[in-house]
Structure 1
Amino acid sequence: MKMLVNVILPIEPFNSMVRDGSVGEIIGRVIDDIKPESIYFSEQDGSRGAVMVVEVPDASAIPSIAEPWFLNFEAHCEFRIAMTPDDLKRANLSKLAEKWNGVHA
């Protein structure tokens, strides 16, 4: 399944890695290992951040995606399942609406 992974990189240790010149090599190794379909770097809540699209065969693959960010950058990672339009069509929303419409707890 596809997942969106939101990575928030705190100011430290990232600044120290920029200063000592190691950040590019480490990020390159992390990206090479994770092999995201795409990755974009941006600001997030005043910190550096990245958003990746990754293919996750099952939940046991999540640590191999998160740990490089946790261990190298003390990052915060959020995982969200991503649906394509075809996935949404296969969800059969009209059938779910029939089943749950008007049901109140």
Structure 2
Amino acid sequence: MRVLLQAHVDTEKANEVIRSGKMPQVMQEIMESFKPEASYFGPDNGVRTMFLVFDMQDSSQLPPLTEQLFQNFGAKVDYTPVMNFEDLQKGLSQIR
């Protein structure tokens, strides 16, 4: 299932990771874990935020994927099922 992850990152925890010089490595590990089809980064509600669209094969992926965001960034995380236009057309074709 295609999922949109929004991770709102704690400023102080992110600043610690940046100051330590580990931010590029941590972000690379996160991207390798999620394997997103799209990723965007910017402020949302006044805090650093990651927006990742990825394919979740099984709900058992939630703990290992989310835990790295909690531990590294003290993130507040939301998952939302989403569709692209092809998915929407397929779903609409099933409505009578």
Range class of TM-score, shorter chain? 0.7 to 0.9
The answer as to 2:32 corresponding to 1:32 is yes
Please identify the structure whose Cα radius of gyration is greater: 1
Structure-2 residue corresponding to 1:85: 85
TM-score of the superposed pair, with normalisation by structure 1: 0.79
- Corresponding residue for residue 66 of structure 1: 66
User: How many angstroms does 1:94 deviate by?
Assistant: 4.9
Q: Secondary structure at the match of 1:54?
A: strand
Structure 2 CA distance for aligned equivalents of residues 56 and 82 of structure 1: 11
In 2: Cα distance, 1:86 partner to 1:34 partner: 22
Q: How high is the sequence identity, in percent, across the aligned residues?
A: 26
Residue 52 in 1 paired to residue 40 in 2?
no
TM-score (norm 2): 0.85
Task: Give aligned pairs, total.
Answer: 95
RMSD across aligned C-alpha pairs, in angstroms?
A: 1.6
> Which consecutive unaligned segments of at least 5 residues does structure 1 have?
96-105
Partner SS state of residue 57, structure 2: coil
Distance 1:65 1:20 in 2: 22
CA shift for structure 1 position 85: 2.5
